[in-house]
């Protein structure tokens, strides 16, 4: 008998796990936003759909979709500047923005073999909103990223369907963001502990412009021995509780900001997020897909400009450094929040990925004098 499939829709956390700052793990020197989440950037919304069944046999499901609505309003007729960076491109994705430098749809995350299904969901969402697409308007470029959850989930089942992407979009809200094994992060593994979704934000000082930058990651990467928290090599001390099934993983990083940046600057910003990942011990192994996408909500670009010259506001390159620092800090903290939100998960063929033992982590950090108490 097929195990009962549970579909869970989440926008806000169901039960609050301790986050980095709750435990005195303070990354960097910059202030976070009210939610310490990508949703601190006004207009950004996040929704999750998790597909989980009761089975631990060969057809167990531990997968899902995470949808990020990048701004309020009409994305088709009010597009956003965007930029991307690929650190290690061993992976699948939909939606190339290298030439256009714009984002015109929500962004979705899912498992490796569900990119096509989720892309169809985004397309159906946009077609329903805009009847002229593909008729008198151009076709669109939906953006979907993936990580491989096959160690815990029967990825061959193709369980994620277009309607799950639509449900994730319907669930998208501002405010607190559910973290850990939810949505696209349901079956992910990070540093050989339970991985998944994490988020963090930074707010620049008034003198630096007062801009907000938020990061959301789907973490499915890293070797235990390289794990670092606040510079302490904690992974070398937490050598047990390893999964039997290990593979090269991936990480997807999304960055949103209200700073007025154009696509070239946003690509540069996306690169700096990878420095934050490196601080946690990320290496970008051969089989890993490590990508970042950044966008700005400051300028809205018409689909068919009436004038040949657009009037947009763009921050001077000489004022980018605080945003670069913020991107690295927020990405680093988002990964730590992933691990803290982890829950021990038994999946396909009984494969088990353990949650990070928070008490032992804190003991290690105290020994290294990385935290005060």
Catalytic positions, please?
250, 288, 290
Residue 212 parent element (H or E): strand 212-220
CA 75, 268, 89, 226 dihedral sign is negative
Q: Are 274 and 251 in contact (CB under 8 A)?
A: no
Are 234 and 364 contacting, i.e. CB atoms less than 8 angstroms apart?
A: yes
Angle between helices 115-129 and 162-171 (to 10 degrees): 60
The total number of residues written for the chain in this structure: 373
The three-point CA angle 199-65-94 to 5° equals 95
Closest CA to 188 of 243, 232, 227: 243
363 Cβ neighbours under 8 A, 6+ residues apart: none
Q: Where are the alpha helices (DSSP H) in 150-287?
A: 162-171, 263-279
- Residues paired with residue 345 on neighbouring β-strands, in sequence order: 353
Strand partners, 254: 216, 293
Residue 139 CB-density burial (10 A; 0-12 exposed, 13-18 middle, 19+ buried) = exposed
Please say whether the beta carbons of 273 and 292 come within 8 A.
yes
**Helix, strand, coil distribution of the chain in percent, nearest 5:** 30, 25, 45
Phi, psi (rounded to 5 degrees) for 208: -90, 0
Q: Which two tokens stand for residue 55?
A: 């089975």
3-state secondary structure 16-58: CCCCHHHHCCCCCCCECCCCCCHHHCCCCEEEEEEEEECCCCC
């Amino acid at each position: 008998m097929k195990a009962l499939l549970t579909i869970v829709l989440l926008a806000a956390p169901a039960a609050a796990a301790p986050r980095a700052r709750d435990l005195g793990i303070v990354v960097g020197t910059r202030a976070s936003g009210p939610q310490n989440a990508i949703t601190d950037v006004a207009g950004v919304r996040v929704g999750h759909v998790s597909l989980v069944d009761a089975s631990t046999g060969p057809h167990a499901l531990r997968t899902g979709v995470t949808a990020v609505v990048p701004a309020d309003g009409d994305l088709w007729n009010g597009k956003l500047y965007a930029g991307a960076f690929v650190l290690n491109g061993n992976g699948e994705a939909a939606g190339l923005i290298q030439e256009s430098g714009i984002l015109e749809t929500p962004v979705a995350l899912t498992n490796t073999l569900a990119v096509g299904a989720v892309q169809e969901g985004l397309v159906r969402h946009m077609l329903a909103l805009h009847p002229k697409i593909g008729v008198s308007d151009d076709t669109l470029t939906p953006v979907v990223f993936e990580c491989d959850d096959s160690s815990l989930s029967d990825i061959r089942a193709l369980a994620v369907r277009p309607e799950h992407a639509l449900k994730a979009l319907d669930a998208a809200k501002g405010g607190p963001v559910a973290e850990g094994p939810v949505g696209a992060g349901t079956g992910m593994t990070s540093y050989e502990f339970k991985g998944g979704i994490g988020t963090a934000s930074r707010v620049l000082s008034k003198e630096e412009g007062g801009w907000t930058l938020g990061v959301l990651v789907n973490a499915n990467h890293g070797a235990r021995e390289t794990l670092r928290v606040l510079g302490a090599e904690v992974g070398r001390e937490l050598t047990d509780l390893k999964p039997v099934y290990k593979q090269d993983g991936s990480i997807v990083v999304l960055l949103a900001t209200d700073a007025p940046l154009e696509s070239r600057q946003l690509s540069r910003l996306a690169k700096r997020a990878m420095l934050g990942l490196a601080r946690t011990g990320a290496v970008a192994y051969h089989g890993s897909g490590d990508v970042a996408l950044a966008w700005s909500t400051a300028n809205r670009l018409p689909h068919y400009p009436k004038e040949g010259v657009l009037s947009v506001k763009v921050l001077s390159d000489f004022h980018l450094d605080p945003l670069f620092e913020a991107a690295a800090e927020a990405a680093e903290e988002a990964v730590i929040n992933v691990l803290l939100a982890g829950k021990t998960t038994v999946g396909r063929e009984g494969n088990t990925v353990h949650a990070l033992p928070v008490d032992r982590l804190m003991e290690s950090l105290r020994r290294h004098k990385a935290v005060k108490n």
